[in-house]
């Protein structure tokens, strides 16, 4: 682990997302750089976000975590069990002021086994829009395999897969 990665991993923890996190996550989701790297680049209305977020929190097919540094939220990650119920699809973001420090890799490492265990899935899939080098690097560093390119809503994206090698329960 590099010195930068060791520094970025210091004092990190995760916790489940809660209803009180709705406004913070809405602001993060509407960050201009997040919107431009999303399949839907439009800003998200507060009411739509609140409905969506409330549903995600109660869904048995979703696990939603916040990444904390020294107890303060600095990132989010969500796992949604796919229609086959055998894989989880992933989405994550790091708060603007904390990007470029290897925290995307850390949030993946800290949450992936827990999410797969809780969702009873064997793999994780992720789509990274072409040009999003930071996410691309985070997935590679976290041990995901690049499974080729696909097109979603007219945008080219790399598909990443990660399969747990753990047999035991967490």
- The ranges of the chain with pLDDT < 50 are 1-7, 167-170
User: What is the four-CA torsion angle of 95, 45, 59, 18, rounded to 10 degrees?
Assistant: 50
Whether the CB-CB separation of 77 and 108 falls below 8 Å is answered with: yes
**CA-based radius of gyration for the chain:** 15
Determine the pLDDT at residue 3. Answer: 47
pLDDT computed for residue 58 by the predictor: 97
**How much is the pLDDT for 6?**
45
pLDDT at 5: 45
What global pTM score does this model have?
Answer: 0.88
Q: Which domains are seen in the chain, by residue range?
A: 3-124 (3.40.630.30)
Check residue 95 and give its pLDDT: 94
Cβ–Cβ under 8 Å, residues 147 and 97: no
């Amino acid at each position: 682990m590099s010195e930068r990665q060791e520094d970025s991993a210091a004092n990190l923890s995760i916790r489940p997302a809660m209803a009180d996190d709705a406004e913070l996550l809405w602001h993060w989701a509407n960050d201009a750089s997040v919107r431009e790297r999303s399949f839907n680049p439009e800003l998200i209305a507060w009411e739509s976000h609140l409905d969506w977020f409330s549903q995600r929190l109660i869904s048995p097919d979703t696990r939603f975590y916040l990444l904390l540094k020294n107890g303060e939220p600095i990132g989010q990650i969500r796992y949604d069990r796919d229609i086959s119920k055998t894989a989880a699809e992933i989405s994550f973001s790091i708060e603007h002021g904390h990007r470029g420090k290897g925290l995307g890799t850390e949030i993946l490492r800290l949450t992936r086994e827990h999410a797969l265990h809780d969702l009873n899935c064997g793999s994780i899939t992720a789509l990274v829009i072409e040009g999003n080098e930071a996410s691309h690097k985070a997935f590679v560093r976290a041990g995901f395999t690049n499974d080729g390119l696909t097109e979603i809503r007219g945008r080219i994206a790399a598909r990443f897969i990660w399969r747990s090698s753990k047999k035991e329960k967490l």
